[in-house]
Each structure stands twice: as C-alpha cells, then as structure tokens.
Amino acid sequence: MNVPPSYIYIFVLMILEGMSLPIPSEVIMPLVGFYSTKGLLDPYAGIFVGTVGSLVGSVIDYYIALKLGVPFLQRYGKFFKLTPDRLESLSKWFSRYGVQSVFFFRFVPVFRALISFPAGLGRMRLPLFIVATFFGHLIWDSVLVYIGIYFSSTWEVIISLMEKYLYGVAIVLAIVILIYVLIKGNFLKF
C-alpha cells in the first residue's frame, strides 16, 4: 500500500495534537482543505486520517491518566498544559456530564484534548470514550477542512507571504535564540 507522505504527516501531527501537545488542529486541518482545492489531497481522506490521528492521541492521554493517575498528572501536567486548576475544572465537568463533556469539549480550544485525562481518571468505559471522541473530532475536523476550502484564496496569499519572508524571519529568530542562549549561559552580561 503506497500512502502519500502528506497523509502520514497529517496523521502524526494530529496524534500529537490529540495528546495535548501544542500542535493546533486549527492550522493543520484548514491546510488539508486548502491543499484539497489544489488537488494535492482528498478532503475526505484528510478528514478521516486527521480524525483517526486525533483519536489515537486522545486514547494515549486517556491511558496515561488511567494507568499513571493523578500523581503523574500533577507532576508532569505542565508538559500537557494541564495545570492543577484546569485538571480540577475538567474533572468537575467530567464527573457532572460524563460522555457529553468528552463529546462537547472536542469543540473547545485548549480543553479539547485535555478532557481525555479526566475521562481516564474517571475510568470511563473505553468503547464509549472512543465513540464520543471519534465523533467529536470528526465534526471538528470536518468544519476546519471546510473552512480551509472556503478560504483557499486567502491561504494562497498567506502562504506566498510566508514563503517571501520566511528566510528573514528565520534569520531574526535564530539571532534572538542565539542571544538568549548566550545570556542564559552567562556568555554575555548586561
């Protein structure tokens, strides 16, 4: 089976997004829509691949919470942008609304991936979690792909500007990072 690399990239990025890492589906999936207008991707395949990737990432977060529990999340939650306040808030929502919170939080930026943790902590039945998560991601990803299709002419302008100024931005960013490293390493003192 020969899978175009772009679908593999979508799948991997959406797994990371589903795992609460700072990879925004709000950028990835509209690009799927944009590239589908150019004939480079099939929008339905892109939606399916992105949704399955998000589902895999969400199941990973669910199992992290299920198997490693609150102590792990309290210790390493900042890695997932999961502060104690967010965890408590999400847990309250989950204990009150259960499966509905898993489904509806898929439409709320920031919290969309984090709801997997309280579902794991609450030992939500896995098949129910998978169904609620899959359909939440499917609807969200479909809307984002449609937005990319609808605004495809705008994307062309944005991408051409990025290509035009990318090297300049990369050089400035590299200089800023270098100065930061030199200051933090006490090589430069101000």
Query: pLDDT tens digit string along 36-89?
Result: 998 999 999 999 999 999 999 999 999 998 898 877 777 776 666 667 777 777
Indicate the DSSP class of residue 81.
Answer: T
pLDDT at 171 over 70: yes
Structural domain boundaries in the chain: 5-150, 152-190
Burial of 28: CB neighbours in 10 Å, binned 0-12, 13-18, 19+: buried
Distances (CA, A) of 70 to 74, 82, 108, 133, 169: 6, 11, 23, 22, 41
Q: State pTM to two decimals.
A: 0.75
Q: How many CA atoms lie within 13 A of 165 on its CB side?
A: 8
Taking every pair of Cα atoms in the chain, the longest distance, rounded to a whole number of angstroms, is: 58
Question: Quick one: what percent of the chain has pLDDT higher than 90?
Answer: 34
